[in-house]
Amino acid sequence: MSESYVECLVKGRPNNKARLLMILLIVLGAAAFIAMFITGKWWILIFVIGFGVGIYYSSQYIGVEYEYLYIDKELVVDKIYNQSRRKRIATYEFDKVQVIAPVKSYHLDNFGKLSTNPKDFSAPVTDGPDGTYVLFYEGKEQVLFTPSEELVKIMKNAAPRKVYSD
């Protein structure tokens, strides 16, 4: 049995909610710190420490990367926060995959009317050509992801009638 392994790491879209929360906590923390010295009430230090802890935890979710692992007819998607914490998001078996094709491919015309649950694990669009692909899984999920050329090639070798790279 031939085993194949390819991994691809892409930078995800920045989490603007976490960034906004961190900015809000910084402003509130600075205001509480100044208020502590102006009023002379040292119990406000509890709020300053609380805001500091909130800033630390919200900063953990700003930088997001996605790692796609292809391991012997299985695509695994992991989410990496700030290059330190990893979370497994999904596993897709190629036996249950319906089609994988670029976003603007004509091979997706038959799948456009399916009511699916879209998931976006793709990189932000850059100035170059859009390398985003769509994966339809069991008729229930529509997954957007940005694989490397090597990953597309190995997936196409594993399932030539399901993977298109037009």
* Interval 111-148: pLDDT, tens: 766 666 788 888 887 655 678 899 998 878 888 899 98
Show the tokens assigned to 149.
């050329």
The pLDDT assigned to 1 comes to 45
Report the b/e string of 98-110 with b at 16+ CB within 10 A: ebbbbeeeebbee
* The predicted structure's pLDDT at residue 2: 57
pTM of the model: 0.78
- What is the pLDDT confidence band of residue 158, given thresholds at 50, 70 and 90? confident
Residue 30 has pLDDT above 70, yes or no: yes
Cα–Cα distances in angstroms (integers) from residue 138 to residues 18, 113, 144, in the given order = 32, 14, 15
| pLDDT value for 25 | 95
The residue that leads in pLDDT, 58 or 31, is 31
pLDDT of residue 68: 94
Under 8 Å between Cβ of 8 and 71? no
Sign of the Cα torsion 28, 34, 38, 40 reads: positive
pLDDT in tens, 62-121: 888 999 999 988 999 999 988 888 999 999 998 999 999 998 888 888 876 666 678 888
Largest CA distance in the chain: 73
